[in-house]
């Protein structure tokens, strides 16, 4: 599935993050396809780093049609940011109850790293299943 950002509202990163999370969950469903999905895995890693450091800036980057806007690069509110953070926290608590956020991110990044290196055998079945469930939960929470 290709992400076509022209079909999405300009300020809705939650939709794109939801699509990305869904794509990564699909990749983890079929680890043999990971070699072809390096971009999705890299972006998932970046999303996890944003989650780890609470780096959802809430900055609106206008699309091509918004070039006349006066709010280029300024804060557009935190509602979209809060939606993404809430979805990721909910998935973390559901899949990894009692585990702190940094540990969750570390576990997920290890799975992504093993899959990106095409070493699915380096990841235990339970870890892969949990990672898939985490990203599926994020995707479900961010569906419009």
- pLDDT on residue 110: 92
Among 76, 54, 50, smallest CA distance to 63 is for 76
Q: Is the pLDDT of residue 71 over 90?
A: no
Using pLDDT thresholds of 50, 70 and 90, give the confidence band for residue 39: very high
Query: Model confidence at 60, in pLDDT bands (50, 70, 90)?
Result: low
**Residues 107-136 pLDDT 10s:** 999 999 988 887 766 667 789 899 999 999
Is the per-residue pLDDT at 9 higher than 60? Answer: no
CA distance 90 to 97: 10
121, with CB counted inside 10 A (0-12, 13-18, 19+), is: exposed
Instruction: Using pLDDT thresholds of 50, 70 and 90, give the confidence band for residue 57.
Output: low
pLDDT score of 88 more than 90 = yes
Q: Report if pTM > 0.85.
A: no
Tokens 């939801």 label which residue? 18
β-bridge mates for residue 59, sequence order: 75
The predicted pLDDT at position 36 comes to 85
- In terms of pLDDT, which residue wins out, 91 or 69? 91
Cβ proximity of 29 and 117 under 8 Å: no
Q: Structure tokens of 22?
A: 């869904």
Percent helix, strand and coil across the chain, each rounded to 5? 70, 0, 30
Q: How long a stretch of residues is the chain?
A: 144
Q: Report the pLDDT value the prediction gives residue 7, as an integer from 0 to 100.
A: 52
* Mean pLDDT score, 47-55: 93
Return the pLDDT at 77. Answer: 47
State mean pLDDT over 82-92: 94
């Amino acid at each position: 599935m290709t992400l076509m950002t022209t079909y999405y509202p300009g300020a809705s990163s939650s939709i794109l993050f939801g699509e990305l999370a869904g794509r990564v969950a699909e990749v983890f469903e079929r680890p043999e396809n990971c070699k072809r999905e390096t971009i999705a895995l890299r972006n998932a890693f970046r999303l996890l780093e944003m989650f780890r450091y609470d780096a959802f800036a809430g900055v609106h980057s206008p699309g091509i049609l918004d070039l006349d806007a006066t709010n280029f690069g300024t804060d557009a509110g935190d509602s979209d940011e809060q939606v993404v953070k809430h979805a990721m926290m909910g998935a973390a608590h559901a899949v990894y109850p009692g585990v702190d956020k940094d540990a969750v991110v570390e576990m997920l990044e290890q799975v992504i790293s093993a899959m990106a290196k095409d070493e699915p055998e380096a990841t235990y079945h339970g870890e892969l299943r949990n990672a898939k469930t985490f990203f599926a939960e994020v995707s479900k929470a961010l569906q419009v």
